[in-house]
Amino acid sequence: MTLDEARDSIRKHVVYSAVPGDEEEGVIDSVGRKYVYVRYVRGHQPVATLPENLTLMRGGSLSEHIRLGVEEDLLRAVLEAVCVRDGISLESAVMPGESARNYELAVRLGIGHVFGLEQEDRDA
Protein backbone atom coordinates (compact mmCIF):
# COMPACT_ATOMS: atom_id res chain seq x y z
CA MET A 1 0.00 0.00 0.00
CA THR A 2 1.16 3.55 -0.68
CA LEU A 3 0.44 6.66 1.41
CA ASP A 4 -1.95 7.88 -1.29
CA GLU A 5 -3.84 4.57 -1.24
CA ALA A 6 -4.00 4.80 2.55
CA ARG A 7 -5.40 8.35 2.38
CA ASP A 8 -8.15 7.03 0.12
CA SER A 9 -8.81 4.17 2.55
CA ILE A 10 -9.31 5.93 5.89
CA ARG A 11 -11.72 3.94 8.10
CA LYS A 12 -11.22 0.85 5.93
CA HIS A 13 -9.86 -2.45 7.18
CA VAL A 14 -6.26 -3.46 6.53
CA VAL A 15 -3.93 -6.33 7.34
CA TYR A 16 -0.46 -5.57 8.72
CA SER A 17 2.28 -8.02 7.81
CA ALA A 18 5.96 -7.18 8.10
CA VAL A 19 6.93 -10.82 8.58
CA PRO A 20 5.32 -13.68 6.60
CA GLY A 21 2.83 -15.54 8.77
CA ASP A 22 2.59 -12.73 11.34
CA GLU A 23 -0.50 -10.73 10.44
CA GLU A 24 -2.66 -8.32 12.39
CA GLU A 25 -5.93 -6.70 11.37
CA GLY A 26 -6.82 -3.07 11.93
CA VAL A 27 -8.55 0.05 10.67
CA ILE A 28 -6.80 3.06 9.13
CA ASP A 29 -7.30 6.00 11.48
CA SER A 30 -5.24 8.68 9.71
CA VAL A 31 -2.25 9.18 7.42
CA GLY A 32 0.81 11.32 8.02
CA ARG A 33 3.77 12.25 5.83
CA LYS A 34 5.60 8.96 6.45
CA TYR A 35 3.30 6.65 8.38
CA VAL A 36 -0.23 5.29 8.29
CA TYR A 37 -1.85 5.36 11.73
CA VAL A 38 -3.74 2.12 12.26
CA ARG A 39 -5.91 1.09 15.18
CA TYR A 40 -5.18 -2.62 15.43
CA VAL A 41 -7.81 -5.06 16.63
CA ARG A 42 -5.72 -5.94 19.64
CA GLY A 43 -4.36 -2.44 20.17
CA HIS A 44 -5.17 0.43 22.46
CA GLN A 45 -4.67 3.41 20.16
CA PRO A 46 -3.54 4.13 16.58
CA VAL A 47 -0.01 2.93 15.86
CA ALA A 48 2.39 4.45 13.29
CA THR A 49 2.86 1.81 10.58
CA LEU A 50 4.89 1.81 7.37
CA PRO A 51 2.42 1.76 4.45
CA GLU A 52 4.30 -0.97 2.57
CA ASN A 53 3.45 -3.37 5.42
CA LEU A 54 -0.30 -2.88 4.93
CA THR A 55 -2.77 -4.56 2.59
CA LEU A 56 -6.37 -3.43 2.15
CA MET A 57 -8.78 -6.18 3.18
CA ARG A 58 -11.18 -7.17 0.45
CA GLY A 59 -14.72 -7.53 1.76
CA GLY A 60 -14.00 -5.03 4.52
CA SER A 61 -14.88 -7.07 7.61
CA LEU A 62 -12.68 -7.90 10.58
CA SER A 63 -12.53 -11.36 12.09
CA GLU A 64 -15.95 -12.38 13.39
CA HIS A 65 -14.71 -13.21 16.88
CA ILE A 66 -12.79 -9.96 17.52
CA ARG A 67 -14.41 -6.55 17.99
CA LEU A 68 -12.97 -3.09 18.61
CA GLY A 69 -14.25 -1.39 21.73
CA VAL A 70 -14.41 -1.72 25.48
CA GLU A 71 -13.05 -5.28 25.60
CA GLU A 72 -9.82 -4.24 23.87
CA ASP A 73 -9.43 -1.21 26.16
CA LEU A 74 -9.81 -3.47 29.20
CA LEU A 75 -7.39 -6.02 27.76
CA ARG A 76 -4.82 -3.28 27.14
CA ALA A 77 -5.22 -1.91 30.66
CA VAL A 78 -4.66 -5.38 32.16
CA LEU A 79 -1.61 -6.10 29.97
CA GLU A 80 -0.07 -2.73 30.87
CA ALA A 81 -0.76 -3.19 34.59
CA VAL A 82 0.87 -6.64 34.66
CA CYS A 83 3.86 -5.42 32.62
CA VAL A 84 4.37 -2.47 34.97
CA ARG A 85 4.05 -4.77 37.99
CA ASP A 86 6.64 -7.16 36.52
CA GLY A 87 8.99 -4.41 35.31
CA ILE A 88 8.41 -5.21 31.62
CA SER A 89 8.85 -2.38 29.10
CA LEU A 90 5.75 -1.03 27.36
CA GLU A 91 7.83 0.30 24.44
CA SER A 92 7.70 -1.45 21.08
CA ALA A 93 10.80 -3.37 20.06
CA VAL A 94 9.69 -3.05 16.43
CA MET A 95 8.95 0.70 16.47
CA PRO A 96 11.12 2.33 19.19
CA GLY A 97 9.40 5.28 20.81
CA GLU A 98 5.94 3.79 20.15
CA SER A 99 3.80 1.69 22.47
CA ALA A 100 4.14 -2.05 22.03
CA ARG A 101 1.17 -3.83 20.47
CA ASN A 102 -0.89 -6.07 22.72
CA TYR A 103 0.47 -9.28 21.21
CA GLU A 104 4.04 -8.06 21.81
CA LEU A 105 3.25 -7.45 25.49
CA ALA A 106 1.59 -10.87 25.72
CA VAL A 107 4.73 -12.54 24.32
CA ARG A 108 6.87 -10.70 26.88
CA LEU A 109 4.55 -11.96 29.61
CA GLY A 110 4.77 -15.53 28.28
CA ILE A 111 1.09 -15.67 27.29
CA GLY A 112 1.37 -15.25 23.52
CA HIS A 113 -0.89 -18.27 22.99
CA VAL A 114 -3.80 -16.01 24.03
CA PHE A 115 -3.25 -14.21 20.71
CA GLY A 116 -2.89 -17.42 18.72
CA LEU A 117 0.89 -17.29 18.54
CA GLU A 118 2.66 -20.60 18.01
CA GLN A 119 5.04 -22.04 20.63
CA GLU A 120 8.15 -21.05 18.64
CA ASP A 121 6.87 -17.44 18.56
CA ARG A 122 6.49 -17.48 22.35
CA ASP A 123 10.00 -18.84 22.83
CA ALA A 124 11.59 -16.15 20.64
**Does pLDDT of 82 surpass 70?**
yes
CATH number attached to the domain at 3-56: 2.30.30
What are the structural domain ranges in the chain? 3-56, 70-123
Give the model confidence (pLDDT) of 6-58 as tens digits: 999 888 888 898 877 778 888 898 999 999 999 887 777 889 999 999 998 86
Q: Tell me what pLDDT residue 37 has.
A: 95
Buried residues in 13-43 as b, exposed as e (16+ CB within 10 A): bbbbeeeeeeebbbbbeebeeebbbbbbbbb
pLDDT in the model for residue 51: 95
